[in-house]
């Protein structure tokens, strides 16, 4: 089933409620501010995908930051089952929290593979907090 990632939210964690809704914990609106470097934090990603109906949806998402001592590439691939009751439209694609290590300020680049081609779907700057605020 063809699908296209429309948007991405970077957050601390994502949980699924009993009624099927998702709960986004600690969403990052601006940059990700760290209190000290080096640091390792858990990050989750919530993507909105546009689908054309029910069935399996093959999704590949890659998260990179290249300003680390060891360049990091995080990768997640999933086949998401869209229920038969879904006539098409938007669907959530959740990549659960995983640890990301940072040794200096950088920028996360989030990409999705669509029709064999990687396309950037989001960026998030990671910086050292200079005013005591983190998050």
Q: What is the pLDDT of residues 18-38, one digit of tens each?
A: 887 889 999 999 999 999 999
Q: Is residue 48 part of a domain?
A: yes
- Cβ contacts of residue 31 below 8 Å, gap of 6+? 124, 125, 126, 127
Q: Is residue 131 part of a domain?
A: no
Nearest in space to 13 (alpha carbons), one of 27, 29, 31: 27
The pTM is what?
0.80
Q: Is residue 53 part of a domain?
A: yes
Q: Is residue 97 part of a domain?
A: yes
How many domains does the chain divide into? 1
Domain that holds residue 67: 3-125
pLDDT at 6: 86
Can you tell me the distance from the alpha carbon of 86 to that of 112, in angstroms, rounded to the nearest whole number?
A: 22
Q: Is residue 99 part of a domain?
A: yes
Task: Classify residue 84 by its DSSP letter.
Answer: T
Q: Is residue 66 part of a domain?
A: yes
Measure Cα distances from 40 to 22, 99, 118 in Å. 25, 6, 26
pLDDT at 84: 56
pLDDT at 134: 64
pLDDT at 95: 84
| Under 8 Å between Cβ of 35 and 63 | no
Spans in the chain with pLDDT lower than 70: 1-3, 53-58, 66-88, 132-135
Give the torsion through C-alpha atoms of 7, 102, 73, 31, to 10 deg: 10
Domain with 107 in it: what CATH number? 2.60.40
Q: Is residue 135 part of a domain?
A: no
pLDDT at 26: 96
Can you tell me the distance from the alpha carbon of 115 to that of 119, in angstroms, rounded to the nearest whole number?
A: 10
Q: What is the pLDDT of residues 65-76, one digit of tens each?
A: 766 544 454 555
pLDDT at 31: 94
Q: Is residue 89 part of a domain?
A: yes
């Amino acid at each position: 089933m063809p699908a296209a990632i429309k948007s991405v939210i970077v957050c601390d964690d994502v949980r699924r409620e009993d009624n099927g809704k998702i709960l986004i914990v600690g969403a990052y609106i601006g940059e990700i501010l760290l209190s000290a470097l080096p640091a390792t934090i858990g990050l989750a990603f919530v993507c909105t995908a546009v689908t054309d109906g029910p069935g399996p949806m093959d999704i590949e998402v890659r998260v990179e930051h290249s300003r680390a001592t060891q360049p990091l590439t995080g990768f997640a691939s999933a086949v998401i089952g869209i229920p038969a009751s879904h006539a098409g439209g938007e669907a959530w694609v959740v990549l659960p929290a995983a640890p990301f290590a940072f040794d200096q300020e950088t920028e996360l680049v989030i990409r999705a593979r669509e029709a064999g081609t990687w396309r950037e779907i989001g960026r998030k700057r990671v910086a050292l907090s200079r005013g005591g605020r983190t998050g």
